[in-house]
Chain A
Amino acid sequence: QKEVEQNSGPLSVPEGAIASLNCTYSDRGSQSFFWYRQYSGKSPELIMSIYSNGDKEDGRFTAQLNKASQYVSLLIRDSQPSDSATYLCAVNNYGQNFVFGPGTRLSVLP
């Protein structure tokens, strides 16, 4: 059974701080990694895709991938109350289906 694990949270950070969200996965052959944000009662929206080891930055968001450690993380700099949501990690291997983690609930405190 291929698994993706995330701390369920809630992770609470003060406004302006860096929020660090972590995800581990069991399938060593995984090639594609995605972070989604889901506001309460809404559908997931894509934040970042990452395919290679290292860091990928997009605005206040940085995704970090370490395939050797089977670990992918999302950093949110200068966290805002509007960042309060559940963050889903999704992992995919060639030709196979996405496996989603249970999500980490982030709360940014004003």
Chain B
Amino acid sequence: DGGITQSPKYLFRKEGQNVTLSCEQNLNHDAMYWYRQDPGQGLRLIYYSQIVNDFQKGDIAEGYSVSREKKESFPLTVTSAQKNPTAFYLCASSILYGAGGLNQPQHFGDGTRLSIL
């Protein structure tokens, strides 16, 4: 089955530690995205990538880093500089453009819930 796999499902971070969240997709989608969702809040864009070896900052990139070495993979590192990392992290992917050049919907993984120890 095609889909987006995020791991781990739960992650705990110690103070001063960097942690990496995995996101893999087998949908052959060009674009991949990372969002952060705080309780009762909407989705906020952290980083996105439309092509291998290229990525762009979203609205809340500070304290996070990403890489896109393969089309299928877009890992997110939460660095020690991110002082309030507790949140639900969602990875998404999409076809960039469909018929008529219109943007296609994003499809989401199951998410990673990150907490501070």
Residues of A within 8 A of B (CB): 31-32, 34, 42-46, 49, 51, 88, 90, 92-95, 97-98, 100-103
Q: How many residue-residue contacts, CB under 8 A, span A and B?
A: 51
Total chain B interface residues with beta-carbon distance under 8 A: 21
Q: Which of B35, B101, B104 contacts A94 (CB 8 A)?
A: B101
Chain B contacts for A95, CB-based, 8 A: 103
Cβ of B90 under 8 Å from chain A: yes
Give the docked Cα–Cα distance between A103 and B108 (Å): 16
Q: Which of B42, B58, B102, B109 contacts A32 (CB 8 A)?
A: B102
Q: Which of B90, B100, B107 contacts A46 (CB 8 A)?
A: B107
A-side interface mostly: loop
Residues of B within 8 A of A (CB): 33, 35, 41-43, 45, 48, 58, 90, 100-111
Q: Are B58 and A97 in contact (CB under 8 A)?
A: yes
Q: Are B102 and A97 in contact (CB under 8 A)?
A: no
Sample 15 A-B pairs with CB under 8 A, ordered by A number. Answer: A31-B102, A32-B102, A32-B104, A43-B90, A44-B90, A46-B107, A51-B102, A88-B42, A92-B103, A94-B101, A94-B103, A97-B45, A98-B103, A102-B42, A103-B42
Known interface pairs A88-B42, A101-B42; A46-B102 also in contact (CB < 8 Å): no
Give the docked Cα–Cα distance between A3 and B105 (Å): 18
**Would you give the shortest CB distance from B7 to chain A, in whole angstroms?**
13
Q: Considering the complex of A and B, which 6 residue pairs feature the smallest CB-CB distances, nearest first?
A: A102-B42, A43-B108, A92-B103, A32-B103, A100-B43, A43-B111
Chain A contacts for B42, CB-based, 8 A: 88, 100-103
Centre residue among A44, A93, A95 by max chain B CB count within 10 A: A44
Give the docked Cα–Cα distance between A102 and B40 (Å): 8
Chain B contacts for A51, CB-based, 8 A: 100, 102
Q: Are A43 and B41 in contact (CB under 8 A)?
A: no
Q: Are A43 and B103 in contact (CB under 8 A)?
A: no
Q: Which residue of A lies closest to B96 (CB)?
A: A95
Q: Which of B43, B102, B110 contacts A88 (CB 8 A)?
A: B43
